[in-house]
Amino acid sequence: MLFKFKSKVTGDLIMLEPDAKRLLKIMGREEQVKGIFLADQLPAAIASLESAVAQEEVEGLNDPKQISLRQRSLPMLKMLKQCLGQSADVVWGV
């Protein structure tokens, strides 16, 4: 299954289900197939992702055979930051 994240100010971000669910769990939206991040919720979502990336790097949990959380979350962070800058919501599953 694919997750498609949409916003009025960015292109769509399409992710495979396991990757999208991992990022959504980090951002506090576990088990949501459909949802929305309102513009005022974006700072908390961004902070959660950045904190998880930093924690993974400090703990050295990087498996060279897997894509790191930093790489995996980069497109999402870029989208969220652009939406935050333009006060736009991010939706998925609709």
Give the contacts of 70 (CB within 8 A, at least 6 positions apart): 53, 56, 57
CA distance 5 to 2: 10
3-class SS at 4?
strand
Give φ, ψ of 44 to 5 degrees.
-70, -40
pTM metric for this prediction: 0.90
Question: Do the beta carbons of residue 79 and residue 13 sit within 8 Å?
Answer: yes
At residue 94, the pLDDT reads 79
pLDDT, tens only, 16-72: 999 999 999 999 998 888 999 999 999 999 999 999 999 988 887 666 777 889 999
Provide Rg for the chain, Cα atoms: 13
